[in-house]
Structure formats: structure tokens, C-alpha cells
Chain A
């Protein structure tokens, strides 16, 4: 499919869309004016597509420096009367939380939708937290789509709801919804005329709003906040009525006879429950909830009141389950609840059809259909499975991180510092892959930007040598305050900013260090070196990590300082397109003595052992790191 179809597709047309693509169509159909994000899997593709389509669809789009700023951009745009959209991964909402929690108090004018993508099973995150806690923490209504069609439709409905009740709306996705593809029927899209309400002439491609001052509503000093909190609570009560009547909450029934068992489910979990119940012909009614906060208590009560027992199919935490238990307690009903708290469903990781069947079986064993087809893996297959080597993701051929890791290890070795006395504080990005052998350059990790705060802590708490690794985008995101903190508090450690000129792990988005913005336009690049100097750092050195000798020397020098030093290891990510091709490397057989240092110390995907000889294959990008580190000078440029 051509992505342009997300703009040109006509009402009624069916496209096969990724959940994240459907989200883009949803905001286009909703005539959103302002969109902002910090990239994070599984929500990243939304930004990648907006990078290409924002201008044509009348949207201002930016990759904000972090999620908190993205949240603030969306909130202030909304209060200026524009429809705004911000999106992030679940842990991104932690970063945004400080501003986010107040958005319910100050409310909205133009509709504001916040899409948060949770990652049950932790496919690409540092934890498995459940965004639905934040719905309750901040009193923000929440919708949970279960497929791409619903992602699009719920975003549209979210804007109507937001404008009706003047409150932001969360769309909670999961990896399996954001990264699911399905058939999506498009709705109507009529591009709005771009107007400028401020009466000043404007040549921007997006609509401009107008901010009408009202400090008694928008400036949350204590006496105003107290009043607004009260209003927010009563607002949520009226939205609960809306949730009770919403057709996003619907009952699926297998036949006319009212079964004695039911299941309440939402999001991707609903899909698994639905398919198992249909496939096994189970007599269980389903209440699918799409509007899950405020919790539709009356709707749920009318669904469960004649049941003997109710299953709760939800992913991550038992949130709906506790709501249901409260309803049962309040109404003094005698209904069994089968969920996570009593171990019918697993308490962690995502669900699947298999897990749902297993969970249902704990209660209705005799009624489930026996699966006819069983996979009897034979002994020799099981044996082979046991022997399979792992295939962890690795640093790419020519990645500068590899060279930086090699250099820092070499420097500590040459200075005679034992491995166990070097603490590597790592961060969120490709460089986290340094945790694996042979690099072993990640010893501690909490969150985005934590490497510098952690490094500072280690340097105060121990006498060990401390090195922090942080990427360029992550440094901008949340590395600057802890750097200032470390310098001001006279810390002694080495910060390495791995500047690969891109936000690599999430798929190559630009960041403030580059001369391009979120819509592909020219933008002023912010110099990391100047920033570091501005923070008061006395020892800053920018090196190309591919130059091993210089990088090793820089580390040795940095370790000899007794205050904080910063090494900026600057080398563009090899996945950036359009880079000049370099000549590939080759092993000179006459000089190689099969020490395999290149294989064992670099773990480069292009170098392997075949027939007891090290070889460099066609995937080599010519970074020359191997030729510099080879103790026998046996690696040189390949003659083309």
C-alpha cells in the first residue's frame, strides 16, 4: 500500500492497515492540527508516517525532545482551540506524567487525544506497566481499541468526547493492537480550510488557534486547583454515564439461552477470548469493553447480575477485575470472579488464545472442546530444539558503539583496572545491546537518561571507576539535568555520549542534534559539545570511535581526571541511508594466525569462522575497526 492512501483514501474504501497506520488515518479524518511525540516502540510508526504526511494533511508535527514536552505541546494547542494529538509508549507517559496529571484539571478546548502504547510481554521495553493506572491517577477517560479499525474509530470518537466534556482522552493500545494489521474501512475526510484566528497573516500549512486568557481556569495555584479537582471529579461522574451507554461496550452472545458464565474483556485480550469461545462453542457470554475508564459500572452490573461466575480477560494488571469485585461487593451479589487475583489468568505477560483456553479450562474443564490436532514433537525434534544457538539482536556491522566499547575496555585494561572495578551505567537505545558478551558494557539500567544520574550515584557511593553510556537522542531527552547535577556536585566519572546522528533503535527518527525537523524541513542543529561545555564540564572531547587509537587515548586521559569528563563518540549509524560506501575489509591469509580476536572481541555480524578460518563476508561496510585491532595486522582493504 502506498502511504499516501492514508490521505487520499475515500470514505467506504477498505485498506489493510497496521494499527499505527490506522491511527494516522484517524487523526487525519479528525482534522487534527497539532501532533507531537517522542519515538517509542510500539508507537513509533505513527511518527514515521507523520514525518512524511503531516504537511499534506494540514498537521504541524514534531518529534519533541521528550514526552513531557510533547504532552505540553498538545495541551497548550488544545487550550488554544485546536485539535491536538500526542502519542508515546507506556514508559513515555512516566516522563510526561508531571504535566499529564494536571491536564484533567485545566481541561481542553480543542479535542485532545493521547495515544499510549503498552507493551505486554516486554517485546522492546524496560518494564510492563499498565497505563490504565494512569487513567485513574489523573482522572482521564480511556478507550481501549482491539484492532486497527477500532484504533481509527476510537480516535475519532475520542475527539468528540474530548470536546463535549473538555477533557483529554487516552487511547490505550498494546503491542498486539499497534502492530496488528487488519482490514480498515475508511471514514469521511474533508480537509479543513486553514484559517488564522489571530488575524495576523500566517503562511503555515496548519490551522492556527487563539488562546483566550482565563487564569482562574488555567493557572493551577492551590486555591484554583482545589476547585478544579472537585470539578474534575464530578466531570468523571457524568462521563461514567456516557460510558454506561456507549456502544463501545457491547455484549456478544452465543445463543438465546442465557448462559451462567460470562467474560469481561478489553483490547487485544478480547480477541483471544472471542476466538476461543467461538471455536470451542463455549456457553459464555462476552462483554467487550472499549470505554473502560470511567468504568461503566451499570453496564457491567446488568451483565453480571444473573451470572454464577465471570471471567476477566485483561492484559497486565487486574484493573477491571478489581472494579468488578467492587461492584459485586457494593451490590452484595454472590458471583465468582475468575481473574488474576485468584490465579486463573497469569499475572504477567500478554495473553494468547492458548493461555485463554488454559485459563478457562481451570473452571469449565468438562465443557471445552478437546483440540483434535496435537503437536507431538518427536524426541529428535525436541533434542534439536534444545541444541539451537540463540539469535539475540546485535550491533550492526560498522556500528560505532562496538568500537567505543572495544576502546573503553582496552583503555581500562591498559590502565590495569580490573573488569569488576569498572561500572558501566547504561541507557535506553541500541547501545543497551552492550549488555551481551563480548562487550559486557551495561551493568545497570533504569530508564531514559538514567545512565548519568546512576553514574553520578555510583561515583559517590563507591571507589570504582564509572563509565556512563548514553545516545544522542537520549541525552537530549533527559541527560542534560543529571549532567549539570554531576558537574555541580563534583562527581568523578566518564560520560560517553554515543552520538550516532539519529534516534536509531526506534527506526531512525531525527533529533535536535540534526539539521532537520519532524516534517523534513531544515532546522537548527543543537551542538552537543557546546551543550556539555555550557553545563560547566571542563573535559569534553569529541572523537570518532572508529579511530581506535585516539579513542583509547581519550578514555585513558578521561580516567586520569578527578572530575567529570565527557567523551562524545560521534559516528553516524550505518542504517542511515545515502552514506558513502566504503571499501570492504579482507583477511590476509598469509598473516592470520587464527587467534580469532576479531571474531571473539568484536562479535561483528560480518566476521565469522568457516572451516576453522576467520572470514569477512559481503555484509562488511568497511569501518576498519577489525583491521585496527588485529594483533597480526592481518586485515586490510579488499581489492575490488
Chain B
């Protein structure tokens, strides 16, 4: 493109800008806004596959025609620090879930569930892995890692929709501890009120992960799905 053409193009753009100048965007009303929305707070420890899981959930939402935004905090993710992401399906602009507003807390580690509770409320679905990851510096801290049974019982007592999942065991059963996130993904799609279909989520999983592992991942998703189904019946 030569300079005259470029200037011409810029001019048309400018005029377009001017046309829009006085246009006022209407805000949608509150009930429309909240209809069809679903928010998931995903938390755990760096290296557990949290970011991948939330991306799969979000892309599945997009595939089913929803607007989706997610937020993730990188940086310390590979060094054993706390990692969390927020998945928001619906007409949100903000990628941060308001306190007390998460429809689901999906936790990859028992005590990280507790740290995430500010995001939830009594009706929030709590799906959490029961295998602990003890912080490596625990001996130089004054606080001990609490007993997992105690954590599970307190959560069950306080949150009627608590679903503890022995994710590590099921992941190993599916062939590799690394498929822990797939087990929890399976449990998520089996939970009541989850707005996306199992088929879409599996399709997106396949688009996102190496074909070599599809079979194992599917097995892990199914194990998580069934574990959740069993809990709902119990």
C-alpha cells in the first residue's frame, strides 16, 4: 500500500470514528445479565494442571455459544505456590469472581479448598481432591498441616454440596498421576447444574491435549464422572 492509499484509508477510518462519536452503548439490565451465567473458582498448587483445566472448561463454554472470560495468575506456577484461576461463563466483562458468588469451587488440594471459601456461599458446589500436598517448608512454619479427614468433615458439615474426590487414586488408576486434572474435570461435568455438556468438554479436551494421551484422559474423565455420580446418589 502506498502512502496516499494509506492516508485515504486513515481518513475513512477517522470518519468512521466520528460517526461513532455520539453513539451511546446501552447497558443490559441486571436480570438478563445474570441469566445463563456460571462461575467456577479453580484452585490448587502449581504444577497440578489447573490452568489447562480452566481453559478447557472455558473453551467448552465458548463452543456452546456463551461468552467466557477467565483470569489466571502465572509466575510462581511451577514453584509449588498457590495457583488459582477464575472461569466466568456469561456476559461478564470482569474476569474476577466476586466474593460469595462462585457457583462452584473446584479444588485440586484439600486445604486450598479452605483458602478459596471466600469466593463461595452455602449453595456453592465444592468439588475437592482429598490427597494433600504438604508444603515443603512445613517444618519451619508454626502451623501444621491439618488432618484431611477433619478438613473433609468440616466442609461436609458446613457446605451441603461438598464432594470429596480421591483424585490422585483415580488418576493413578487411569494410568498416570498427571491425569489428576482430567479426573476432576470429569467430576465437574457430572455435577448438578453444570451448564455444559459432557460431549463438548471431551471434544475440547481432545483439541487441547496430545492425541497420545486421549485414551488415558478419557478414562480419567470417566472415573471422575462416575465417582461424582456415586456421591450424588449417596
Contacts and interface: CB of A to CB of B under 8 A. Distances in A.
B122 A376 contact: yes
B137 A271 contact: no
A271 B94 contact: yes
A242 to B, nearest CB: 8
A274 B14 CA distance: 27
Interface stretch (B68-76, B191-199, B214-222): B68-76
B137 A388 contact: no
B122 to A, nearest CB: 7
A41 B17 CA distance: 34
A304 B159 CA distance: 47
Given A275-B93, A375-B118, A179 B72 contact: yes
Contacts of B16: 247
B136 A605 contact: yes
B27 A373 contact: no
Interface in B129-154: 134-141, 143-146, 150-151, 154
A591 interface: no
A124 B76 contact: yes
Contact of B96 (A176, A277, A394, A608): A176
B117 A375 contact: yes
B62 A16 contact: yes
Nearest to B124: A375
B133 to A, nearest CB: 8
Interface stretch (B98-106, B180-188, B224-232): B98-106
Contacts of A575: 78
Interface string A1-31: 1100000000000101010000000000000
A164 B17 CA distance: 15
Interface string A226-270: 000000000000000000011100111110000000000000101
A596 B114 contact: no
Contacts of B69: 147, 180-182
A2 B93 CA distance: 25
B81 interface: yes
A599 B154 contact: no
Given A181-B55, A271-B95, A388 B115 contact: yes
B120 interface: yes
Given A16-B59, A393-B46, A353 B96 contact: yes
B73 to A, nearest CB: 6
Which of B33, B95, B100, B114 has the most chain A CB atoms closer than 10 A to its own CB? B95
A384 B114 contact: yes
Interface in A150-204: 160, 163-164, 175-176, 179-183
A531 interface: no
Given A247-B20, A353-B94, A394-B80, A600 B154 contact: no
A508 to B, nearest CB: 9
Given A183-B67, A252-B24, A609 B139 contact: yes
B211 interface: no
B207 interface: yes
A301 to B, nearest CB: 14
Nearest to A356: B94
Which of B59, B74, B134, B208: most chain A CB closer than 10 A? B74
A433 B79 contact: yes
A272 B98 CA distance: 9
Contacts of B94: 268, 271-272, 274-275, 352-353
A387 B112 CA distance: 12
Given A181-B55, A375-B121, A600 B25 contact: no
B73 A175 contact: yes
A214 interface: no
B121 A373 contact: yes
A252 B25 contact: yes
A250 B24 CA distance: 7
B18 interface: yes
A380 interface: yes
A354 interface: yes
Contact of A353 (B23, B68, B98): B98
Given A391-B135, A604-B136, A42 B74 contact: yes
Interface in B82-114: 82, 92-96, 98-101, 111-112, 114
Given A271-B93, A609-B139, A391 B81 contact: yes
Contacts of B10: 160, 164
B121 A1 contact: no
B29 to A, nearest CB: 7
Given A245-B21, A375-B99, A279 B30 contact: yes
Interface string A318-330: 0000000000000
A361 interface: no
B158 interface: yes
Contacts of A18: 72
Given A374-B100, A375-B120, A393-B81, A278 B114 contact: no
| Central interface residue in B14, B30, B143, B154, by most chain A CB within 10 Å | B30
Contacts of A16: 55, 58-59, 62, 68
A215 interface: no
Contacts of A279: 30, 33-34
A357 to B, nearest CB: 8
B149 to A, nearest CB: 13
Interface in A418-469: 430, 433, 436-438
Interface in A383-399: 384-385, 387-396
A147 B96 CA distance: 12
Interface string A360-380: 000000000101011111101
B74 A380 contact: no
A384 B151 contact: yes
Given A180-B70, A278-B27, A391-B80, A438 B62 contact: no
B6 interface: yes
A438 B140 CA distance: 7
B120 A250 contact: no
Nearest to B23: A250
Nearest to A399: B79
Contacts of A2: 207
B4 interface: no
A378 B121 CA distance: 11
B45 interface: yes
A123 interface: yes
B75 A385 contact: no
Given A160-B13, A389-B143, A354 B27 contact: no
B2 interface: no
Contacts of B36: none
B56 to A, nearest CB: 10
B128 to A, nearest CB: 13
B172 to A, nearest CB: 11
A359 B139 CA distance: 41
A632 interface: no
A375 B122 CA distance: 7
Given A183-B62, A245-B14, A609-B139, 4 more contacts: A45-B74, A375-B99, A392-B137, A396-B79
22 contacts: A1-B207, A16-B59, A163-B6, A181-B58, A245-B14, A247-B20, A252-B25, A277-B27, A286-B27, A352-B96, A353-B96, A376-B122, A381-B117, A384-B146, A388-B143, A389-B135, A389-B138, A391-B45, A396-B79, A430-B79, A438-B140, A603-B137
Interface of A: 1-2, 14, 16, 18, 41-42, 44-45, 123-124, 146-147, 160, 163-164, 175-176, 179-183, 245-247, 250-254, 268, 270-272, 274-275, 277-281, 286, 352-354, 357, 369, 371, 373-378, 380-381, 384-385, 387-396, 430, 433, 436-438, 505, 507, 575, 596, 599-600, 603-609
Please list the 9 inter-chain residue pairs (A to B) with the smallest Cβ-Cβ separation, ordered nearest first: A124-B75, A393-B81, A393-B79, A393-B76, A271-B94, A375-B100, A247-B20, A605-B136, A271-B93
